[in-house]
Amino acid sequence: MNAHSAPSENFDSLQTGERPNASDGPSAFEKPPEWIKTFYKRYQKLGKYEDVIGSDLVDLDARPESHSTLSAQKCGEDVIKELEQLHQKFSKFLGRCLDCGELDWSDCRHSEQKSAAVFELDQIPGLFIYSNLLPPHVQSNLLDKLLHRDLANPEHQTNVHLHYNVSYPASHPDTDGPGSFFDHTAKNLDYSPRESHAAINTERFLDKKLRWITLGGQYDWTAKQYPPEVPPDFPSDIKSLVEDLFPMKAEAAIVNLYSPGDVLSVHRDVSEECAQPLVSISVGCDAIFICGLESQESDPGHERIAAIRLRSGDALLMSGESRYAWHGVPKVLPNTCPEWLQDWPVVGEHAERFQDYKGWMKRKRINLNVRQMFASEANGDAAVGEISMPNDAQAKKKDGTCTL
């Protein structure tokens, strides 16, 4: 089978940034249909690792003999311009050369790495899988920024704030830089409960209680909308990385933290006022991600669903028809965090400072879910004004199907 090029109508909303029929759009309060809940429960109940391997998963790293019957098509390497010059973009994010560590990375002349492999699922138009997109140094540095710097910024709310008055770590005494909840000196921070919740300490806060952090637009989970107040600034370095890699403006994000046994219920992300793509980046343990669309009028009763295995460094982009698809995470797979990442935050220059939390990432999956809140004005920001997603006119076909 030839490489799939998505129908051009799937990308109309990408070009305008407007949600089609916004007033008649899906409700954030609508309950998921039975067919997607049944599919979700099927993967949630998978017990043994062998059951997961033998299931009908879209698994881009699986051996050929264990591929599922679902199919994904590899996009041409040159149709997504955001994935050009990856070495330069990753070095910019790190503040040093990705290869040699030179601080003046712009003068380094290392070979540009190949563009990442990108696949689109046949049955979920507009859902793109960026396999193994982020290299290890970028993943580790992203964790540093999210869980040391941004978590310690009071402007970024968490689920714990709903039930506790959270105190914050002081600046680090040796560097005069920002403190971290992982610092030894943060162990005795106060988390006074609101109402009748049980007392917690920092170790329990980090390992058990912390489930999400909001960046930029602070989503109201009760009202299922963004508040009218001006949101905090989105972290500029993470914003730059996301906009360098994907055709969107990074305006709001939710950082989800999982341990094996944790799930994300089936839902749709419909609170944003535009239909620009939604980006999801995975770091840590593998997870099963399920996604589904209603059946088409031409094929009633045949819902379009898929379960995808996401590994550390993978990214998803939900665009076009898949932007408002039902999706969730029924399972996080234990003992799947890459060995080089398991000891985080005890890595590199932080090895001694955070020794108390050695091995913290071994049982964690961190998911950065980024979205654009508002439609761009016509001829506006180039980050979304020049969409280069593959379409019928652009996608270069490749012989051979990645049958998953």
Which residues sit in the known binding site?
Answer: 267, 269, 327
Tokens linked to 79: 């149709």
Contact 379, 15 (CB under 8 A): no
- Print burial letters for 214-246: b (CB count within 10 Å at least 16), e (below 16): bbbbbbeeeeeebeeeebbebbebbbbbbbbbb
Rg, C-alpha atoms of the chain = 21
Q: Which residues line the annotated binding site for Fe cation? A: 267, 269, 327
Structure tokens at 75: 């996009």
> In 3D, which of 180, 158, 177 has the Cα closest to residue 169?
180
Report helix angle 136-143 to 86-94, nearest 10: 30
Q: Structure tokens of 77?
A: 């390497």
DSSP codes of every residue in 94-156: HTS-TTT--SSGGG--PPPPPPPEEEEESSSTTEEEEET-S-HHHHHHHHIIIIIIITT-TTS
CA 397 to chain centre: 28
E strands along 313-352, which residues?
315-318, 326-332
Q: Show the tokens assigned to 206.
A: 């980090």
Q: Is 154 exposed, middle or buried (0-12, 13-18, 19+ CB in 10 A)?
A: exposed
Least Cα distance to 160 among 204, 128, 126 occurs for 204
Contact 392, 125 (CB under 8 A): no
CA 314 to chain centre: 8
Give the Cα separation of 252 and 254 in Å (integer). 7
**Sign of the alpha-carbon torsion through 342, 345, 347, 352:** negative
Query: Backbone phi, then psi, for 372, in 5-degree steps?
Result: -100, 130
Residues with Cβ within 8 Å of 222's Cβ and at least 6 positions away in sequence, in order, are: none
- In order of 90, 105, 148, 368, the CA distances from 136 in angstroms are 11, 18, 18, 16
